[in-house]
């Protein structure tokens, strides 16, 4: 890395297109350092596994969105800019809260996502998977994300919550606007549409409850004042977005990793019992969440040789941490037989992903069935031409063209 680049690192398209390589340089040379975020604000980026794990569980780092917003306002470098507008209408969710509010909200949904509860969804997930594979079978070449990796998790999470299927394409558009680099106007438009849609849906569930998670949450609100109306809308938003924006990329990134490494693909085809471990390896190697959501220090925090002052934003790179050679030997290599457990792809500490059992189940079914169904599956583009999404949150491809036969 040359001197100029070392002085100012911007999380821009260049960074996202070359994230593993740039992360490796940072982890070796400056494992805790300031970077410039896409909208011009500075934050501290943490790239080592041990530091990442410690900080994810450190209560001196807060996620309280009200305090974060105030901090944002004071720190904005672009005149006239305000904090991301969607944070007002949809932000009252647990990923933006510290205890005790976080604890209260998380308790309401924990039970719906335990491994045994989620296991009951297996037949339905298999059925959706088969239908999508049947639809694909008529084509020779498809974008695997649009045809398969996206519709599967969005259908599952919408059915679980009780969201009608006619809204799914809109949701895809709105949520990618909110997660990728977008203008404040685009964000305001998408978040307004989403908040309005969810508010109306919740009103319908209140009038006519159905057998789904959203009706159960409406009921909890009405019974015990467990959630405010804004918390209810925000919870629905969080579950919908977190429930599909991530799993789509676990499937997409996992398939890409396999198609780039024919030896590993052959090993997995020869022994399907390797699949659960292989899914952990995909999570480790191509972590679908690039950086954990923004935290800020409430007091000075020492991390190795560096001290992060109070009231600074902190970004923890899960992708970089999961490729730390102090934790995993030969970390940039896909190895479907590796013991990849302990990776940080689902986070760590109190915000550890509530949907991890669901994501794992979906990915095992999806990738397992895809490989069985299409023994000739291969990439339909040179790997170097594939583009990643420009997002500090999502590490996922824009498209994944594949040949089926
Ligand atoms: C939290 C990753 C799938 C719901 C998180 C966090 C990560 C993560 C890294 C913590 C973020 C942080 O600490 O800043 C993933 C990955 C997935 C996945 C990689 C798929 C491969 C899902 C699914 C759901 C879900 C299917 C469905 C409901 C949530 C929720 C939280 C969360 C609600 C917030 C938990 C809290 O604040 O206590 N996820 N997730 N995720 N995830 Fe997932």
pLDDT tens-digit series, residues 193-221: 899 999 999 999 999 999 999 999 998 87
Packed helices 122-137 and 356-373: angle between N→C axes, nearest 10 degrees: 40
Q: Which atom of ligand 1 is nearest to the CA of 238?
A: 33
pLDDT band at 75 (very low <50, low <70, confident <90, very high): confident
What ligand 1 atom has the least distance to the C-alpha of 318? 9
Residues 6 or more apart from 120 whose CB is under 8 A from it?
none
User: From the CB of 125, is ligand 1 less than 6 Å away?
Assistant: no
Any ligand 1 atom below 6 A from CB of 161: no
Look up the pTM and report it: 0.94
Mutation pick for ligand 1 pocket among 159, 160, 246 (CB with most ligand atoms within 8 Å): 246
What is the atom index within ligand 1 of the atom nearest the CA of 153?
A: 26
With a 6 Å cutoff on the Cβ, whether 238 touches ligand 1 is yes
Per DSSP, the residues of 222-277 read: HHH--S-HHHHHHHHHHHHHHHHHTHHHHHHHHHHHHHH-HHHHHHHHH-GGGHHH
pLDDT confidence of residue 251 = 98
DSSP-assigned beta bridge partners for residue 289: 394
Residue 308 pLDDT grade (very low, low, confident, very high; cuts 50, 70, 90): very high
* Domain regions of the chain by residue span: 3-403
| Three-point CA angle 20, 291, 260, nearest 5° | 35
- Return the closest-CA partner of residue 293 out of 61, 20, 51: 61
In contact, 133 and 370? CB cutoff 8 Å = yes
Q: How far does the centroid of ligand 1 lie from the alpha carbon of residue 242, in Å? A: 6
Q: By the 8 A CB rule, do 98 and 64 touch?
A: yes
Closest atom of ligand 1 to CA, residue 93: 37
Q: What average pLDDT does the segment 111-131 reach? A: 94
pLDDT of residue 123: 98
Q: How confident is the model at residue 173 (pLDDT cuts 50, 70, 90)?
A: confident
342: region left, alpha or beta (phi > 0 left; psi from -120 to 50 alpha): left
Separation of alpha carbons 396 and 245, rounded Å: 9
Q: Ligand 1 centre and the CA of 150: distance in Å?
A: 16
Structure tokens at 220: 């909890």
Here the ipTM equals 0.99
Using most ligand atoms within 8 A of CB, pick from 346, 348, 349, 352 the residue to mutate for ligand 1: 346
Class of domain 3-403: mainly alpha
Q: Which residue has the higher pLDDT, 267 or 85?
A: 267
Q: Which atom of ligand 1 is nearest to the CA of 244?
A: 26
**Ligand 1 pocket, 353 CB below 6 A?**
yes
CB atoms within 10 A of CB 262: 10
């Amino acid at each position: 890395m040359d001197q100029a680049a070392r002085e100012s690192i911007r999380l821009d398209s260049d960074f996202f297109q070359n994230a593993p390589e740039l992360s490796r340089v940072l982890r070796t040379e400056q494992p805790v350092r300031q970077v410039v975020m896409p909208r011009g604000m500075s934050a501290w980026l943490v790239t080592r596994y041990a530091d990442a794990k410690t900080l994810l569980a450190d209560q001196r780092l807060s996620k309280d969105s009200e305090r974060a917003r105030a901090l944002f306002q004071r720190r904005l470098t672009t005149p006239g800019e305000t904090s991301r507008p969607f944070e007002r209408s949809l932000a009252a969710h647990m990923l933006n809260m510290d205890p005790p509010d976080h604890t209260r909200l998380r308790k309401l949904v924990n039970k719906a996502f335990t491994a045994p509860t989620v296991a009951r969804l297996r037949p339905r997930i298999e059925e959706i998977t088969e239908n999508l594979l049947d639809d694909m079978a008529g084509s020779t070449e498809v974008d695997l994300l649009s045809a398969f990796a996206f519709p599967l998790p969005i259908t599952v999470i919408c059915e679980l919550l009780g969201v009608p299927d006619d809204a799914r394409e809109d949701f895809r558009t709105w949520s990618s606007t909110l997660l990728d680099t977008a203008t404040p106007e685009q964000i305001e438009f998408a978040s307004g549409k989403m908040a309005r849609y969810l508010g109306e849906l919740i009103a319908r569930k209140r009038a006519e409850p159905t057998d789904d998670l959203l009706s159960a949450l409406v009921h909890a609100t009405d019974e015990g004042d467990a959630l405010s109306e804004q918390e209810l809308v925000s919870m629905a938003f969080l579950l919908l977005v977190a429930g599909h924006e991530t799993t789509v990329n676990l499937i997409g990134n996992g398939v890409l990793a396999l198609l780039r490494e024919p030896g590993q693909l052959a090993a997995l085809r020869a022994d399907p019992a390797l699949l659960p471990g292989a899914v952990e390896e995909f999570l480790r190697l191509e972590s679908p969440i690039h950086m954990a959501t923004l935290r800020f220090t409430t007091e000075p925090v020492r991390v190795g040789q560096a001290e992060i002052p109070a009231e600074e934003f902190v970004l923890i790179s899960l992708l970089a941490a999961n490729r730390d050679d102090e934790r995993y030997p030969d970390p940039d290599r896909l190895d479907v037989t590796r013991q990849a457990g302990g990776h940080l792809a689902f986070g760590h500490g109190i915000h550890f992903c509530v949907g991890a059992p669901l994501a794992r189940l979906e990915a095992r079914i999806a990738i397992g069935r895809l490989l069985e169904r299409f023994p000739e599956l291969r990439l339909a583009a040179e790997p170097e031409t594939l583009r990643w999404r420009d997002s500090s949150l999502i590490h996922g491809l824009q498209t994944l063209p594949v040949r089926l036969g």
